[in-house]
Each structure stands twice: as C-alpha cells, then as structure tokens.
Amino acid sequence: MMKLLFTLKSTDVSQTAKKLNYKTYKSRKAARAIIYDGSRIALIHVSAHKYYMLPGGGIDDNSIKQGLKREVREELGAEVEIKDEIGKAILYFDRWATKQTDYCYIVKLISMSSINNISAFEKEEGHEIFWADDIEHAIRVVKSSNPSGDDGKIVRMRDLLFLQEAKKTHKLYAG
C-alpha cells in the first residue's frame, strides 16, 4: 500500500476558491513519473496554462505501473523502467468534479523515440517535453511557473511536493 503524502483542494492554492461538496466528486486514478536520464528529469510544459508538470495521466488499467508505462509511452514516446515509489496524493479538481488519486514513481528512461501519441486535448493545451538538468533544476522550474487557473495551481503544487519528496527520500539512479 503506497503512503499518502498529501491532499490538495482549490482552497489550498487559491484564496478565492469556494469550499464545495467533495462527496459528489467522481473518483479517478492517475500515475506520475519522475523520469530520469542520467541526472536529467523529464517535465511536460503546458504552454497554454503556463506551468510544468510530471509526465503521466489518468489510468484505467488494472495495474497502476502498466498504466504509467503506457502514459509515458504516449506522452514522451519513451520506454521506462519503474525503480521506486514516491507516494500518493489525493487531488480535488473542481472544474471536472473529480477526486483524483495520483501515484508517483521514480522511473529510469530506457529508450526514447521521436514519436509520441499525445491526445488532441494535450496538443491544444500545448504539451511539450522539457528536460531539466537535474532534480534541483526541475524543482526550480516547477516552482517558478505561474499557472493561469486553479487546476494548474493544484498540479504545480502536487508535482513540486512529489519532486521535493523524491529529493529528500530517494537517490536518483544515475547511469
């Protein structure tokens, strides 16, 4: 059982957000990857909303790890090896009326092709792969982004907390 690290709601990232009835929100599972290649860390730049996030996404697969590998293959065109758990987070997205449980892993890049298969929504949002020099750089990039909406602010906080947890508790596997 993966350790719950934190829970985030719009009220945690915005002073103008309203408290809502979260009991009516539909549940969704998602997985996130801190992908490393040597010391480099992969991020996704969401240019339409001015923030960076960890690769991954919603999963319907029976296996969270298999779902994460599929998401990484779609978003980055990459094959990866899952090395370790970071932890999980519960996020409440008001825009979608969704309670999302995100599972985060440290993942090593095995190979990468120039072909990815991002969705029309991800294209519209301006998803682009960005490689930070190391975990410190990834933390700075995520922290300095300025998301335009509450969803982006929640994602930014989630990924910042996941990266800080990885830095604090795990050694990234070089080579």
Rounded distance, CA 69 to CA 55, Å?
10
pLDDT at position 115: 67
Residue 169, pLDDT above cutoff 90 = no
Q: Which CATH architecture has domain 4-169?
A: Alpha-Beta Complex (3.90)
Residue 174, pLDDT above cutoff 70 = no
Average pLDDT over every residue of 146-151: 90
Q: What is the DSSP letter of 47?
A: T
Residue 175, pLDDT above cutoff 50 = no
Confidence band for 20, pLDDT divided at 50, 70 and 90: confident
Rounded distance, CA 44 to CA 42, Å?
7
**pLDDT, tens digit, 9 for 90 and up, residues 31-72:** 999 999 999 999 999 988 889 999 999 998 679 999 999 999
Question: How much is the pTM?
Answer: 0.91
**pLDDT, tens digit, 9 for 90 and up, residues 88-103:** 999 999 988 999 999 9
For residue 73, the surrounding DSSP H or E stretch is helix 64-76
**pLDDT, tens digit, 9 for 90 and up, residues 75-92:** 888 999 999 999 999 999
